[in-house]
């Protein structure tokens, strides 16, 4: 049976989530405190974690950031505030795999969890390296030849996807799903905008052309193309 940890301090919501997930065949543990949830996530091999932000003891951002810094890569679905773009960005920035805004549909939550489970908790390297470009998911740091580069949460998330699949061509729609989420209803050309932002930060100042456009297909990141 697939074991899931729910860390949520609203007792009624936590109970409803647990009952619903159990009816879908999941084995569910419920914790109402951030610090206790962190300890449980460290000690138990869960398939996924549903994590709220506002928690007593330790907030969800810190729980997520601490787990990632310690090398715990259990897929995390973070519950954010309604229309909270800053919450969503920070969720990604701290290492969450996906987010869902409250109030949410239980059917969507289950679908998101199953999508995370299909990806699995594959070990992630402490630092991603492509040529002279490095990205550290634990510290959220980026550098080119040891020169620090400041990235926004979205820029970091987009670059991380490209670096994890270096040399592969990734389609625009797939990048939207990975970085903005499958429920994103905006213009998919937002990817082009953020690729432009990245090029100005990781390529132009260093006379590099790392991010390549494959017309009609998507984008590919290659090491140190001049």
Strand partners, 139: none
Give the phi and the psi of residue 173 in degrees, each rounded to 5. -65, -40
* pLDDT digit string (tens) for the chain, length 226 residues: 799 999 999 999 999 999 999 999 999 999 999 999 999 999 898 999 999 998 999 999 889 988 887 778 899 999 887 556 677 777 777 788 888 888 889 999 999 999 888 877 666 666 888 999 999 877 778 999 889 999 988 899 899 889 988 878 999 888 988 888 777 778 888 999 999 999 999 999 999 999 999 988 899 998 875 4
Second-level CATH architecture of 3-119: 3-Layer(aba) Sandwich (3.40)
3-state secondary structure of 216: coil
Task: Please state, in angstroms and rounded to a whole number, the distance separating the CA atoms of residues 69 and 138.
Answer: 5
**Do residues 161 and 179 touch, judged by C-beta distance below 8 A?**
yes
The CATH code that applies to domain 128-221 is 1.10.10.10
Which part of the chain has CATH 1.10.10.10?
128-221
Which part of the chain has CATH 3.40.50.2300?
3-119
């Amino acid at each position: 049976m697939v074991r899931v940890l729910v860390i949520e301090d609203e007792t009624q919501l936590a109970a409803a989530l647990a009952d619903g997930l159990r009816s879908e065949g999941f084995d569910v543990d419920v914790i109402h405190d951030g610090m206790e949830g962190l300890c449980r996530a460290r000690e138990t091999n869960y398939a996924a974690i549903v994590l709220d932000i506002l928690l007593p003891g330790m907030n969800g951002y810190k729980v997520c950031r601490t787990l990632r810094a310690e090398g715990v890569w259990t897929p995390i679905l973070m519950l954010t505030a309604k229309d909270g773009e800053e919450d969503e960005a920070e969720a990604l920035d701290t290492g969450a795999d996906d987010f869902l805004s409250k109030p949410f549909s239980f059917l969507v939550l289950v679908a998101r969890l199953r999508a995370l489970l299909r990806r699995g908790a594959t070990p992630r390297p402490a630092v991603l390296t492509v040529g002279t470009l490095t990205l550290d998911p634990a510290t959220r740091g980026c550098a080119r030849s040891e020169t620090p580069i400041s990235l926004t949460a979205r820029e970091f998330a987009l670059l991380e996807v490209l670096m994890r699949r270096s040399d592969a061509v990734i389609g625009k729609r797939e990048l939207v799903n990975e970085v903005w989420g499958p429920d994103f209803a905006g213009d998919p050309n937002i990817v082009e905008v953020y690729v432009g932002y990245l090029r100005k930060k990781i390529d132009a100042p260093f006379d590099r052309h790392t991010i390549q456009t494959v017309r009609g297909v998507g984008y590919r990141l290659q090491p140190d193309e001049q």
